[in-house]
Structure 1
Amino acid sequence: MSVRNLNLLHPRDQIIMIINRIYQKGLTTTSGGNISIMDESGDMWVTPSGVDKGSLKPSDIMCVKADGTMVGPHKPSMEYPFHKAIYSERPDIKSVVHAHPPALVAFSIVRQIPNTNVIPQVKQVCGPIGYAKYAIPGSSDLGDSISEQFQKGFDSVIMENHGAVVGGKNVIKAYERFETLEFACRTLINSKIIGEPQFLTEEQIFGFNNQIPTDHPKMETVTHTSDEKELRQQIKDMVRRACDQGLMMSTYGTISVRWKGNDFLITPTDATRWDLQANDIVQVKGGLCEPNKVPSRSTWLHQKIYEMNPEINAIILTQPEYLMAYGVAHKKVDVRTIPESWIFLQDMENVPFGSHFLSNDTIPQKVSAANPGVIIENDSVLMTGNSLLQAFDRLEVAEFSAKSLVMGTSLGAFAPMNENEIDDLRKAFF
């Protein structure tokens, strides 16, 4: 089921689409969590109580009518009262998502609020985080505790010793907020394993948002050749693969592929990544982009990399959680740990936050065939390749390496390959 024409999907179908994604991504358990949607009639559609989240059908979704009548084959979630309380306090919110993903629960049981100044996009999507004191699940006290936070203007709330609840103007926006908040918590936890997270100042975040291009010159007419159409499909398929592999989120991730000369195709901004379609992708030709489309905010960076590096034909910019732990802790990933990592990456430098700002040539000058990727501190990971598959493969290898390093930190000191072993690899593969 697609998120296209979301308003034409029945609320029960919208809920099934999102609960399936939450369950498949390991963000809830068979019995945990609940989702609701408030429709235009004032009726609340909500997941049922005691029904397997991994096999829910549209017919399982309950309706709590505006007059309190319950329609459906089950009981509504035992926690539907706090959903109702949120809608009462915040008429602008039309969907609520609650679950118990591991990293968010970790913050809830140590009674901490994650600092969203860790990455600009996290702060933009999640906003400030509220904190609801503990109360018995399903109780009116819990509803009061949570709705009070939403009344204060929070859209994301940590529930003490419980989990988290988020709201949005529709179920997609609520899910994006929920997924991004869990990503932030995982990144912060992993960064503390290898060091200490470093946070951005309000001035740095303002500077980032202020420099993003908003007016892209448009071409008058656009031509779609057979090879261009093929590249669109490749990008679409790879974005979905990256989402399925945990290398991209709904709200963040950019792929571009060189088409001919310095012209290229790139993913759009403000599109749900896992539902991206081929016709969403933006052609950039002669510095002009397709009319009626908004390309990625990093389009200028991709353009500069292609102009300065003729051997690079594909670029991926994204936020894998283990690599981002290194980006947030300002630590360097040691790719000498296993042969494959060094062969694929050779070196992977960190560059300071701001290196990706408009008109900064640091990254285009640093990436090359020998140095295919960089970690942009407190922002993202950029990986390149002579093909889209090579760039994706390198990204996967880098993320697997970072994951192994995070896990290995608790076991003892690393024993990387020595210079003689690196020389042997160099002679064998280069």
Structure 2
Amino acid sequence: MTDSHLQQAAHELADAGRQLHARGWVPATSGNFSIRLPDDRIAITVSGKHKGRLTPEDIMLVDADGRALDHRKPSAETLLHTSIYRAFPNVAAILHPHSLNASLASRLFGDAIVIENCELLKALEGITTHASRVTIPIFANDQNIPLLAARVDAYVDQHPDIKAYIIADHGFYTWGTTMQDALRHVEALEFLFDLEIRWHGVKRA
């Protein structure tokens, strides 16, 4: 790699992978991550790589429509990244972990998980008070990624304040204006998912 922006993106993506793998949020070769470069190219993890051991060769470039800019194969879910970048021009990083809490939440909460009146909501970009209500939609998994991306797009069009979404029995997507923002969102959402799952169990007891 000779592109300095791509080199920096590869470093940030590898570091994010190590952090998320250390927390058990990207088991095996699951998950995918991306960073939007200043020229609107997207640096994204290639398909089937262990996220805790990413190297610069495991990061490739796609254009704004998700088309590979070299011979390698991008993540199968690249269109889910490009749709978020189109919807939010200020977003520069997207993380998609496959966490246990996201899968459990998708089995417990139907079409959405609603989180309110929790201090850690303030870790999500744009939220300044615990007295907030955040809805994280849950979409049925689908191997037809263009169809899934279209469903996500339709929801985002109607809910431009969305902070993340879950794919049922799969994982979740969140994003930020920087990689550090996206990582903060993952950590906060993991706590909030765990809280709601435990509270759901308490209420059922």
TM-score grouping bracket, smaller chain normalisation: 0.7 to 0.9
Asked if the contact 1:79–1:138 (Cα under 8 Å) also holds between the matched residues in 2, the reply is no
Question: What's the CA shift for 1:89?
Answer: 1.7
1:81 is aligned to: 79
Residue in 1 that maps onto 2:168: 160
Q: Which residue of 1 aligns with 2:92?
A: 94
Listed one character per residue, the Cα deviations across residues 184-234 of structure 1 (whole Å, up to 9, x for unaligned) are: 1112223444x349xxxxxxxxxxxxxxxxxxxxxxxxxxxxxxxxxxxxx
Q: 1:162, CA displacement in angstroms?
A: 2.8
- SS at structure 2 position matched to 1:115: strand
Distance 2:98 2:55 in 1: 21
Tell me how far 1:15 sits from its aligned partner: 0.8
Identify if the C-alpha distance between structure 1 residues 143 and 181 changes in structure 2 by more than 3 Å, giving closer, same or farther: same
Q: How far 1:36 moved relative to its partner?
A: 0.8
Spell out, residue by residue over 1:228-281, the C-alpha distance to the aligned partner (whole angstroms, 9 max, x if none): xxxxxxxxxxxxxxxxxxxxxxxxxxxxxxxxxxxxxxxxxxxxxxxxxxxxxx
**Mapped partners of 1:70, 1:87: distance in 2:** 16
Residue 16 of structure 2: aligned partner: 18
Mapped to 2, the partners of 1:81 and 1:8 lie a distance apart of 20
Which of 170, 181, 186 is the aligned partner of 1:178? 186
Distance 1:105 1:118, change over 3 A: farther
Which amino acid is the alignment partner of residue 165 of structure 1? Answer: Y
* Cα deviation, residue 112, structure 1: 5.2
Distance in 2, Cα, partners of 1:168 & 1:83: 12
Written as runs of structure 1 = structure 2, the 5 A alignment for 1:174-213 is 174-193=182-201, 195-196=202-203
1:107 is the counterpart of 2:115: no
Change (3 A) 1:68 1:32: closer
Larger relative contact order (CA 8 Å, sep ≥ 6): 2
Would you say the 8 A contact 2:123–2:185 is kept in 1? no
Distance in 2 (alpha carbons) for counterparts of 1:65 and 1:124: 31
Which residue matches 1:136? 142
For the 8 Å contact 2:176–2:182, the answer to whether it is kept is yes
TM-score (normalised: structure 2)? 0.80
Change (3 A) 1:141 1:112: closer
1:116·1:123 contact (CA, 8 Å) conserved in 2? no
- Counterpart of 1:116 in structure 2 is 115
Separation (CA, whole Å) in 2 of partners of 1:112 and 1:173: 26
* Structure-2 change in CA distance of 1:61 and 1:119 (3 Å): same
After superposition, where does 1:18-417 map in structure 2 within 5 Å? 18-66=16-64, 70-71=68-69, 74-110=72-108, 111=110, 113-125=112-124, 128-137=134-143, 139-151=145-157, 152-153=159-160, 154-193=162-201, 195-196=202-203
Larger Cα Rg: Structure 1 or Structure 2? 1
Unaligned runs of 5+ in 1: 1-6, 198-409, 411-430
Assess, with a 3 A threshold, how the Cα gap between structure 1 residues 67 and 99 changes in structure 2: closer, same or farther.
closer
Q: CA deviation at 1:116?
A: 2.3
Change (3 A) 1:138 1:26: farther
Give the drift of 1:99: 1.9
> Any idea what SS the aligned residue of 1:18 has?
helix
Aligned mates of 2:144, 2:165 — CA distance in 1: 16
Question: Alpha carbons of 1:192 and 1:131: their partners in 2 closer, same or farther (altered >3 Å)?
Answer: closer
Change (3 A) 1:36 1:92: same
Distance 2:77 2:171 in 1: 13
Q: What amino acid does structure 1 have at the position aligned with 2:119?
A: P
Whether the 8 Å contact between 1:34 and 1:46 is mirrored in structure 2 is yes
**Matched residues, number:** 191
Q: Is the 8 A contact 2:90 2:177 kept in 1?
A: yes
Residues 85/121 of structure 1: CA separation in 2 closer, same or farther (3 Å cut): same
Contact 2:102 2:169 (8 Å CA) reproduced? no
User: How do 1:2-17 residues align onto structure 2 when only pairs under 5 Å count?
Assistant: 10-17=8-15
Q: Distance in 2 between matches of 1:124 and 1:52?
A: 28
The sequence identity of aligned pairs, in percent, is: 23
